[in-house]
Amino acid sequence: MIPRASEPLVRELLRGFPIVTVTGPRQSGKTTLARQVMAERPYWSLEDPDVRALAVDDPRGFLARCPEGAVLDEVQRAPELFSYLQTHVDADGGMGRFLLTGSQQFGLMSGVSQSLAGRSAFVELLPLSHAELCEAGQAPEELDSMLFSGGYPALYDRPVSARHWFPAYVTAYVERDVRQLLKVQDLDAFQRFVRLCAGRSGQLLNLSSLAADCGITHNTAKAWISVLEASYVLFQLRPHHANFNKRLIRSPKLYFHDTGLMCWLLGIQEPAQLAAHPLRGQIFETFVVSELRKGFLNRGELPLFYFWRDSNGNEVDLLIEAGGALIPVEIKAGQTLNRDFFTGLERWMSLAGDRARAPTLIYGGEMEQERRGIRVLGWSQLGRFEV
């Protein structure tokens, strides 16, 4: 098992809450982490039909089997259990009793927020970060290999290739989640939709264009985006509200959580194809934004991430709110520093004034330096990014 950066956070939260809920995409390592942290407690998977039937039909009897607590895996599969969990932990009064995991935000978050408010802390566990892979000595040395493989743990703890693992992953988990949440019948259209989304990662989300290209309605596209968000396949980045005397773009940007999945959906078969791929810049931007989000989440911090773009095309790829200040981050896939890389940051800094802090350029090269008051980080130094 590759040690997870969020393990100390989970252990700390268990000392102060009766329940800790770990959420994230399927196969991101939630079960492994939960069983590592609570190795001495019983483990129950609610994916198992027999276990789920017991939990739903006799919830009091089920929880009576866990007098000291337990790991309850994929607990959104038995939402009836949440109210009984509330009564159980209130009567017990102890901390660190249950560690819940779940892969669907809709069922899990609504159940926990309604029945377990104030009783459960939350940790989002995304696929392995580059920093975690480096710590374990398993990080790909080349950028294109990192982009191609992504961070799902299965690709690093067993002898399986990305191009063989991702098709099985999409069939077994993503499409199953869609059936459970929306009862989608036309899987061909949905598969086409997910691939179109992959081609738009790092771009403004235009639901009308996406729906037209896929041959579905605007409302269907909106619902499918929500499902992909709920299943931790992708996320949206909102535009920052401060206008700095400019007319702003209001549409969000779309990003995948994992570039390995994104590359497979785009039909990329090997890392060498990335060197000249027309979407390499978008793939790299997706990688950087996702990696920075992982860093915040692994520390238990809320990533207040935005982007800025005005109607004249001026933009900053990422704005991070921290301590009342705004940290602008520009992302460039090129391996050679270019004077044009700094233009967007300098323009935004002149507009933002006192609100701006620590402007940063992250690029596809290796050198760490400072230029004209802007810190420059190579892709492999992302783990050292601090606000």
Q: What structural domains and CATH numbers belong to the chain?
A: 7-124 (3.40.50.300), 130-384 (no CATH)
| pLDDT tens profile 65-83 | 988 999 999 988 888 888 8
- Of 79, 88, 90, 89, the C-alpha closest to 114 is 79
Count other Cβ atoms within 10 Å, centred on residue 173: 16
- Global confidence as pTM: 0.93
Going through 126-217 in order, the beta strands assigned E by DSSP cover: none
The pLDDT tens digits along the chain (387 residues) read 899 999 999 999 999 999 999 999 989 999 999 999 999 999 999 999 999 999 999 999 999 998 899 999 998 888 888 888 988 888 888 899 999 998 866 555 555 656 677 788 999 999 999 999 999 999 999 999 999 999 999 999 999 999 899 999 988 877 777 777 676 667 788 889 999 999 999 999 999 999 999 999 999 999 899 889 988 999 999 998 765 655 667 889 999 999 999 999 999 999 999 999 999 999 999 999 999 999 999 999 999 999 998 777 788 999 999 888 899 999 999 999 988 999 889 888 888 877 888 999 999 999 899 988 899 999 999 988 877
Structure tokens at 39: 């190795």
CA–CA separation, 115 and 107 (whole Å): 12
Largest CA distance in the chain: 67
| pLDDT tens profile 299-322 | 999 999 999 987 777 889 999 998
CA–CA separation, 367 and 201 (whole Å): 26
